Amino acid sequence: MAQKPSIPRGTRDFSSTEMLRRNHIFDTIRRIFSLYGYLPIETPAMENLTTLLGKYGEEGDRLIFRILNSGNFLAEVPSQALAAADTPAVIQQISEKGLRYDLTVPFARYVVQHRDEIVFPFRRYQIQPVWRADKPQKGRYREFFQCDVDVIGSDSLLNEAELVMIIDRIFSELGINIVIKINNRKILAGIAEIAGAGERITDITVAIDKLEKIGPEGVRQELLQRGIEPEVTARLEPILNLKGSTDEKLGELRSAMAGSAAGLKGIEEMEELTGYMAMQPARATIELDLSLARGLNYYTGTIIEVKAADLPFGSICGGGRYDDLTGIFGMPGVSGVGVSFGADRIYDVMLQLSLFPEQTGSSTEVLIINFGGDELPALMKMASTLREEGIPTELFPEPVKLKKQFSYADSRRIPMVVIAGSNELAAGQATVKNMKTGEQTALPLSALPAFIREGKIS
């Protein structure tokens, strides 16, 4: 085979360097999740199509990767469908499973399926890849990771406040300055209602969600195209353009919303949440953003979105409250709230801002030069001792030229190299070379672990 092998478009290999950086992100996220009592679950990559289809809209259904049934899968397909090359008819016969499209629907399925084993309120997190047959482009992949954290079975807005604290802490530990935008779906419903178009809430939210991307004039056009009358739009605008602090905005909204029960409830929730958030002030900026809608229709209360303050990236984290996620699987009336961290975008932000620690994670700290022959038992023992002390150690596998072994240490960016020939070993000594400074230090074997750990003789 002369051609270099490749991987499918929109998928990626992760090298060791990328993996160590990614693990730095995932480990931070995981550690903070568990500090707040969230526990991991995992669901299979494949779900039954009955679970997946109809949950993400028509476009979503088209983007689900489907898995071919095994065996002679055409045998069961009606011959007319085949003869007519009727793709939609045939597809139903030859495929029963698909790759998960997000972590939310599998989570809802999980909760319903395991309802009898779960202790509510159920706090879970889930970090797994998802797959979408989207057109690949820069920053958009067909396989990417989601990190979802949700609590289900509790109406309390304390949960929202804790999620904001979790977001604040994670991005602070990663070194990313953020702005957390908050809104409430009920306030959006109220705004639509007092503008005289309560039943058009979906069209309205989809349009105003684009404010940042397409500007006020773009939103006006989009609303018009969606059949929202210009006078409705005119009534929406002053509300969406409210300025001032969160308290000021809420005050003005309250008088504007006098006629909308939903709107008033939304304001009440936002005030309660603001109160909780004030009890443990976040490091990040938190803003009430009335144009924040997030497309997903299952949100019913608080909506949360996070952006990097120092880069014009899109959202790097977002979520909200849903009152009936499990209803689609026959378990109505269970409220939950959650957010999803976009690992790939967070990675890109950190790379652009040079936020990764130089030595991310568990790289080799020391290479022992292999002189072969009689020294080998002593060198193997040295390697063992260092590893027992928790120091990642390599003994070069072949007694090749020193130059080659040093060049390996260099390319792998191993910070220290131990040189111990037969004379030194006989004297109970070794020499450590610091690969960054070039400095060489001779020291007794017993001092080796401490020296390597601290980079100096203690």
Span 375-414, contacts to a second copy by CB under 8 A? 376-377, 380-381, 384, 387, 390-395, 397-398, 408, 411-412
Site map for a second copy, 5-34, x if CB under 8 A?
xxxx--xxxxxx--xx--x------xx--x
Beta pairing class for 39-40 and 122-131:
parallel
Amino acid (one-letter) located at 376: L
Tell me which stretch binds a second copy (CB under 8 A): 125-133, 225-233, 297-305, 309-317: 125-133
Output the smallest distance, CB 239 to a second copy, in A: 31
- φ, ψ of residue 33 to 5 degrees: the values are -55, -45
* Tokens 């060791």 -> residue: 16
Query: Is the link from the previous residue into 121 a cis peptide, with omega within 30 of 0?
Result: yes
3-state DSSP call for residue 335? coil
- Binding a second copy by CB under 8 A: which of 110, 298, 322, 371? 110
Which is nearer to a second copy, 155 or 348 (by Cβ)? 155
Q: What does the DSSP assignment read for 113-155?
A: HTTTTPPSSEEEEEEEEEE--PPPBTTB-SEEEEEEEEEES--
Range 342-361, binding a second copy (CB under 8 A): 361
Q: Which of 131, 298, 341, 371 binds a second copy (CB under 8 A)?
A: 131
Q: Are 191 and 236 a contacting pair, CB within 8 Å?
A: yes
Q: Binding string, 276-315, against a second copy, x = CB under 8 A? A: x--xx-----------------------------------
Considering only residues 152-211, where is the footprint of a second copy by CB under 8 A?
A: 154-156, 158-159, 161-162, 165
Indicate which single residue of 24, 55, 109, 294 sits in contact with a second copy (rule: CB under 8 A).
109
CB of 377 to a second copy, least distance (A): 4
Question: Does residue number 46 form part of the binding site for a second copy (CB under 8 A)?
Answer: yes
Task: Give the one residue of 53, 271, 329, 447 binding a second copy; rule: CB under 8 A.
Answer: 329
Query: With contact defined as beta carbons under 8 Å apart, do 182 and 287 qualify?
Result: yes
- Which residue's CB is nearer to a second copy, number 119 or number 258? 119
Please report whether residue 51 would count as binding a second copy according to CB under 8 A: yes
One residue of 41, 179, 443, 447 binding a second copy per CB under 8 A: 41
Task: Pick one of 61, 96, 268, 272: the residue that binds a second copy (CB under 8 A).
Answer: 96
Contact 326, 111 (CB under 8 A): yes
Q: How many CB atoms lie within 10 A of CB 349?
A: 23
Exposed / middle / buried, residue 441 (Cβ in 10 Å: 0-12, 13-18, 19+) = middle
DSSP 166-201: HHHHHHHHHT--EEEEEEEHHHHHHHHHHTT-GGGH
- Smallest gap, in angstroms, from Cβ of residue 430 to a second copy? 18
Taking the complex as a whole, how short is the minimal distance between the CB of residue 253 and a second copy, in angstroms?
A: 25
**Vertex 152: Cα angle to 149 and 157 (nearest 5):** 90
417-456 footprint of a second copy as x/- string (CB under 8 A): ----------------------------------------
Comparing CB distances to a second copy, the nearer of 44 and 444 is 44
Q: Does residue 244 bind a second copy (CB under 8 A)?
A: no
Helix 185-194 with 201-208: angle, nearest 10 deg: 110
**Rounded distance between C-alpha atoms, residue 274 and residue 6, angstroms:** 51
Per DSSP, the residues of 286-314 read EEE-TT---S-TT--SEEEEEEETTS---
Cβ proximity of 108 and 302 under 8 Å: no
CB nearer to a second copy: pick between 312 and 373: 373
Q: Which of 58, 79, 333, 401 binds a second copy (CB under 8 A)?
A: 79
C-beta of 438: minimal distance to a second copy in Å?
Answer: 20
Tell whether residue 124 is a contact of a second copy (CB under 8 A): yes
Contact range with a second copy by CB under 8 A, out of 216-224, 243-251, 327-335, 423-431: 327-335
- Is 74 a residue that touches a second copy (CB under 8 A)? yes
For residue 337, the minimal CB distance to a second copy (Å) is 10
CB of 171 to a second copy, least distance (A): 16
Min CB(75)–a second copy separation in Å: 6
C-alpha torsion sign, points 123, 129, 135, 139:
positive
| Nearer residue to a second copy within complex by CB, 95 or 274 | 95
Which positions ≥6 away from 346 have C-beta within 8 Å?
Answer: 25, 174, 176, 316, 317
